[in-house]
Every structure is written in C-alpha cells, then in structure tokens.
Amino acid sequence: MKLIHFTDTHLVGHGQKLYGLDPLARLTACIADINRHHADAELCVITGDLTHWGECAAYRNLRDCLAELTVPLRLVIGNHDDRTELRLMFPDTAVDEYGFIQSGMDTEIGRLLFLDTIEEETHAGRYCLRRLEWLSDALNTAADQPVYLFMHHPPFPVGLPSLDALGIPPDQAHALNDLLEAHGDVRHIFFGHVHRPISGQWRGISFSTLRGTNHQISLDFQAIDDVPGSHEPPAYTVVLVDADRIVVHYHDFLDASPQFSLGSTDWDSWNQERDTRPIIA
C-alpha cells in the first residue's frame, strides 16, 4: 500500500502570508506534485494544523485547494485548528460519539486510526479518558489486524524543549501506551506538530514525522520559552507499507536543484545546467 503523509499546512485567509511565506501557494504546489507523481497512492493523510488561526476563510481555502487532490484524503486535527469550523467546511469528517475527530479505516495493511489530540485553550496535546475509551474499542475490534496511528501531537518528548513543552502529558501518554501494548501489533505512528524530519522508535513502535508545507521549526536543543522558526524546505513523505516493511521516503517538493544521470559522462552539459523553477516565497 502506498500512502502520502504531509502535515501542518497552516492555511490562512486568501492573499495572506504567514511568516513571510504563502501557505496556499505551497499547498497548491504540494498537491500538484502528488497528483503528478503519486496519483497511484491509495490514501493521503494530513496530520493537523490544517489552518493557522482556525477561521472559516482559511478552511474555505483549504477545501478549495484540496479539491484538486486526486488521491483519497483523510484529515487529522491539530492544535491550530478549530473543530467546529473544520466540521462546517468538511461535513463528512468522521467523529466519535463525543464529537472528537477520531475515526478508523480498515485497509489491506490493517486498521488505520486517526486520533484527535487537541484541547481548546492550549497548544499542548491531550488524550483524555473519553478518547482513550474510543481507542480501546477501536483496538479491541481490530482483533489480529496490524494498526497504524495518525495523530498531531507525538506521545513522547522528541528532545526539543520548546516543542516538548507542548506535548501530551506523561500520564496520558502512559495510558495511551498501555492500550497500544495490550493490542500488541501497533506498527507505526505518523504525527505532525514538530515541523521537522524525525524518525525513530517509541517503546518498540516505529514513528515518523516531517516538515510542514509552510514554515518549519529550527533544530534548536536549547530554546525553551520561544519556538524557533525557520524557512527550511517543505516536504511530504511517500510511505510504502506491506506485511513486513514500512519505508518512508522524504520528498522536498519545492527542491529545484538539477537532476541528472549518475552514469553520464557529459560533464560539461550538466555542470552548466540550471533549474529555473521559481521558489515560492
């Protein structure tokens, strides 16, 4: 199964920029690249912070832009989002019995679970008892199927103090982990929030995340009180999953560097080659 994962699109109102960049133009470029190169993907997931301020105009931009995507799509909510506005603009969004934007999807590789980790009035993550109850049911009914999680906040510290202060509290993360351990076959966690390319393993479960499609967060292991931003390039990942592997390919879709054959002996021509595609500010 081929999946596309991207995150933290942070859309704003039409014509507006965010941190000196145009989120809509970048998302448009991201979608065009996916449509061009990965129209065969079976699912695309955006892991939250779909908008920056959660207003109606931004969700309208998001909806209109995503209408161009040819791959089936699932949305996850992030701390910059608003549940009410999101559901108004995307009325087909699945929710659990309490109104949290959580859902499951059974596929050829197993059950995909999309979690809601936000709490109003804070940018930090939360995973309360009611959501744990839903997750417990979703894992129990997954029976012997492998499970893959998609969520905005990571359930563990990533080692960057400014971001770890905005994570899921340890007690809630422990409770989440207890459920995952009880299931016994949770294969991977895909998350957003950190705006950085990070992969590894948490308590035996592999994970991956990536840069957002607009602005990024710097690799700064000292900053605590302020979240350091950057204009590192945006990316999406192409994820290949089958019974015995999960492979995550990172793709900087605005990269304009020359491409060439490593077997070429025509050095003069490719030494002079220049890609003139404009950089989206």
The least distance separating Fe ion from the CB of residue 49, rounded to whole angstroms, comes to 3
Contact between 49 and 79 under an 8 Å Cβ cutoff? The reply is: yes
The least distance separating Fe ion from the CB of residue 152, rounded to whole angstroms, comes to 8
The least distance separating Fe ion from the CB of residue 159, rounded to whole angstroms, comes to 18
The least distance separating Fe ion from the CB of residue 189, rounded to whole angstroms, comes to 17
Query: Of 53 and 202, which has the nearer Cβ to Fe ion?
Result: 53
Angle between helices 23-37 and 56-66 (to 10 degrees): 20
DSSP assigned state of 204: T
Residue 229 neighbours by CB under 8 Å, 6+ apart = 19, 215, 216, 217, 218
Query: Of 18 and 25, which has the nearer Cβ to Fe ion?
Result: 18
Report the distance separating Cα 205 and Cα 193, nearest Å: 19
CA angle 24, 43, 178 (to 5 degrees): 105
Report the distance separating Cα 174 and Cα 181, nearest Å: 10
Query: Of 76 and 186, which has the nearer Cβ to Fe ion?
Result: 76
Q: Which residue is nearest to Fe ion (CB)?
A: 49
Query: Of 134 and 207, which has the nearer Cβ to Fe ion?
Result: 207
The least distance separating Fe ion from the CB of residue 143, rounded to whole angstroms, comes to 34
Please name which of 2, 32, 7 lies closest in space to residue 150, comparing C-alpha atoms.
7
Interface residue list for Fe ion (CB under 5 A): 8, 49
Query: Of 8 and 82, which has the nearer Cβ to Fe ion?
Result: 8
